[in-house]
Amino acid sequence: MINSKKVLIIIPAYNEEENIENVVNNVLEENNLVDVVVVNDGSKDDTLKRAQNTKATVIDLPNNLGIGGAVQTGMIYAYKNGYDIAIQIDGDGQHNPKYIKEMVNKINEGYDMVIGSRFVEKTNYKQTFFRMLGINITSALIKAITGRKIYDTTSGFRAVNREIIEEFSKNYPYDYPEPETNMKIVLKKKKVLEMPVEMRKRMAGKSFITPIKSVKYMIKVTMSLMMAKLKLKEY
């Protein structure tokens, strides 16, 4: 509980055996008033056991659902267990848990969603060319469709309030979910804040981005952003 709000930290983890214990422990050292749930997304390595060594609740998906399905599982858990705020943190240690408290404060101030952003202010975070290209294109697309500029469209460091927990537990894209959900929330006229955060280099293991995946990513995300505008009328 932070300011009498039940806060859940959701950590999706796929093959993060080298990082997961540190990530969980860092979160709890920084803030022992939150609950942590690790969603093991069908990892092939020792992630499950390592996560169970920590104080976190571990939800073990029998299949690999991808990042969207894993995060949504955390959202369903948060919704069912009455959490007021859910904060998603990557399982690779890129996100510094020292920002959790500030994110919670911002939600308490009335924001519906807070995005931990690398680019609102200049930080020394270095990106690969393709990642940057992807972020710039999705950012421009979201600006064109909604009129609102979101700088760090792919950030997986996000806090949401109860209303959006409910929404996400019902609807959440399966792959590359961040840009699409950011745009949807903006389109629904929710209050979104981009909060500057410093991100660290991932602690161990490899990032998933290759040029071919980047092209697939761009096609899928462009498509989903354009469709999201049309789909919105159904809700």
Neighbouring residues of 167: CB distance < 8 A, sequence distance ≥ 6 = none
Residue 59 as a binder of another protein (CB under 8 A): the answer is yes
φ/ψ of residue 95, rounded to 5: -95, 130
Residues in the chain: 235
CA dihedral 190, 193, 167, 47 (to 10 degrees): 170
Residue 63 as a binder of another protein (CB under 8 A): the answer is yes
Q: How far is the CB of 58 from another protein (least distance, A)?
A: 7
Residue 186 as a binder of another protein (CB under 8 A): the answer is no
Q: Which residues pair with 60 in a beta bridge?
A: 40
> Residue 27 half-sphere exposure, CB side, CA atoms within 13 Å?
30
φ/ψ of residue 158, rounded to 5: -140, 145
Q: How far apart are CA 58 and CA 19, in angstroms?
A: 15
**Binding to another protein, residues 125-184 (CB under 8 A):** 174
Residues 77-116 vs another protein: string with x where CB under 8 A? Answer: x--x------------------------------------
Q: How far apart are CA 99 and CA 58, in angstroms?
A: 23
Residue whose tokens read 């789909």: 231
Q: How far is the CB of 227 from another protein (least distance, A)?
A: 13
Q: Between 129 and 235, whose beta carbon lies closer to another protein?
A: 235
Q: Between 155 and 169, whose beta carbon lies closer to another protein?
A: 169
Stretch that binds another protein, among 19-27, 54-62, 151-159, 201-209 (CB under 8 A): 54-62
The single residue among 61, 137, 193, 203 that binds another protein, judged by CB under 8 A, is: 61
Residues 21-40 vs another protein: string with x where CB under 8 A? Answer: ------------------x-
Which residues here bind another protein, judged by CB under 8 A?
Answer: 39, 57-63, 65, 69, 72-73, 76-77, 80, 174
